[in-house]
Amino acid sequence: MKHFILALLVVSIDAQVSGSLKLSGTIKVSKDAAAIPTISVLSYGAVGDGTTDNYVALQAAAAAICALPGYRLLFPPGDYFINRKRIDATGPGSGPANGITNIRYDNCDNVTISGYGATVSVLGAFNRPVDETDGFNSLSYTNAVAPFEFRYSTGFRLEGFTLNGNVQDMTRSATVTEGNTAGVMTQDCHDYYIVDVESHHNETDGFTIGGNSLVVDTNMTMTRVYAHHNSRQGLSVIHLVTGLVSDSRFEDTGYSSGSYGYSPPGAGVDVEPFRKPPEENALSTGLVFDGVTCRNNRGQQFINSWPEFQDTVVFQNGSISAPDRSDNEAALFINASKNATTTGTLFTVRSGNAVSLSTIMVMESFITSITFSGNTFALSARTGIYPPERTSPVAFTANTVSSVSSSGSVVFARMNSVTNNIFIDPIGSGNVTFTSISGATTGNLYNQ
């Protein structure tokens, strides 16, 4: 694989709920990076003034870099606005198809696309009307342009951008469901990196990985990304074999302001494969989420609930929390692939939310092993941990559980084992209930 640009960046993160990723300091480029041949979007007519329509220029720049393996495409600092919307098919509401596509990077191998100090913003001031209905939900053929759609590409690196979908300016008919767009989208892509990218206020997702293909993505690394105020998800992982998401934040999904509203599930992160072999070329597996924060999302903070289609997922060293508000989903966290491990994570569970130890009943028969170990659960109510709905191979070991509530019980039921945990005041031994545990319930300490 070609050498990629290495950037040292001082990053400060605004901790406010409305948050933004603030990039400050001097960007230093390694000597190796300085030798990488570079082309600029300015050479293709792009203007970073926040008002000029850059659709044609960015399509031309994307086509150019994809023909130049080993090169870097540079977006100098500025706001590159795309003043177009997609009408993907002719419909009674949207009108004639307009031929506008996402900014596509097809067969784009061994390239770097760098945008430290650059924002790519897309048109959001339009309506998504009804074009098709199934009796329950309605589809619209009108969607925002995705600023980065990678297809059939290997060895690329996307770094340093802020992506703004402007969904706060968008409207839709009441029954219209989610669209097919995101800040970054990948399909049939391999050995790639997404680094230092903020993606916010998108019509659907901040990032959609491994969608719309019968060939899974492989070997994805995503680090220091920040997704917030998107309509459907901060990150959707569809079909992926081997992926690492590290040191990243997914916040405020479903709270985009304006009248557009949110699209279920409204999660911070959703691992949602829906095919398996032979329909898909490989079973999704090998996902690691390390040092990931999911907070204040309207739906689940993290959800991985389809063990029929997903093998191994590890969530470690993270932070999960949601506000005490009536419009949040009850299931704060679900990590229930065929083999799932959750470890070293802080769960701040407020009233009305809970950590689920398994998944929906119809999927539990596909589970081989679920382990929760070395986590900290700070509960505002005893109901903050949900046991499996049917007997499941779940092990709960070496966790610390505390609660501010002095009434009720923490219930563990229909699982393999509950061992070597610490239950802190006011949770005494009489306030922890074991029902239908097939293995050990030993080594637990109470009132420590």
What is the pLDDT at residue 326?
Answer: 57
Decide if pLDDT at 17 tops 50. Answer: no
Q: How confident is the model at residue 16 (pLDDT cuts 50, 70, 90)?
A: very low
* Locus of tokens 């689920």: 356
What is the pLDDT at residue 324?
Answer: 65
Decide if pLDDT at 18 tops 50. Answer: no
* Locus of tokens 């709905």: 389
* Region 377-391 average pLDDT: 83
* Locus of tokens 């105020």: 229
pLDDT tens sequence across 230-282: 999 999 999 999 999 999 999 999 998 889 988 999 999 999 999 999 999 99
* Region 88-110 average pLDDT: 97
Q: In whole numbers, what is the pLDDT of the chain averaged over residues? A: 88
Query: Of all residues in the chain, what percent carry a pLDDT higher than 70?
Result: 87
DSSP string, 285-352: EEEEEES-EEES-SS-SEEE--TTTB-EEEEES-EEE--S-TTS-SEEEEE-SSEEEEES-EEEE-TT
**Predicted structure pTM score:** 0.90
* Region 106-126 average pLDDT: 98
Q: Which of 185-199, 259-273, 299-313, 350-364 has the lowest mean pLDDT?
A: 350-364
Give 101: exposed, middle or buried? Use CB within 10 Å, 0-12, 13-18, 19+: middle
Q: Which of 378-387, 393-402, 434-443 has the lowest mean pLDDT?
A: 378-387
pLDDT tens sequence across 166-180: 999 999 998 899 999
What is the pLDDT at residue 4?
Answer: 32
The string over 245-259, giving b where at least 16 C-beta atoms fall within 10 Å of a residue's C-beta and e elsewhere, is bbebbbbbbbbbeee
Q: How confident is the model at residue 11 (pLDDT cuts 50, 70, 90)?
A: very low
Q: How confident is the model at residue 34 (pLDDT cuts 50, 70, 90)?
A: low
Nearest to 221, CA basis, from 248, 199, 254: 248
What is the pLDDT at residue 407?
Answer: 65
How far, CA to CA in Å, does 153 sit from each of 65, 88, 105, 282, 392? 12, 23, 8, 18, 39
CATH no. of 7-446? 2.160.20.10
Q: How confident is the model at residue 210 (pLDDT cuts 50, 70, 90)?
A: very high
d(CA 353, CA 22): 31
What is the pLDDT at residue 25?
Answer: 34
DSSP reduced 3-state for 417: strand
pLDDT tens sequence across 38-96: 999 999 999 999 999 999 999 999 999 999 999 999 999 999 999 999 999 999 999 99
Q: How confident is the model at residue 362 (pLDDT cuts 50, 70, 90)?
A: low
* Contact assessment for residue 170 and residue 178, using Cβ atoms and an 8 Å cutoff: no
At position 332, the amino acid (one-letter code) is L
Winning range, highest mean pLDDT, from 210-219, 317-326, 421-430:
210-219
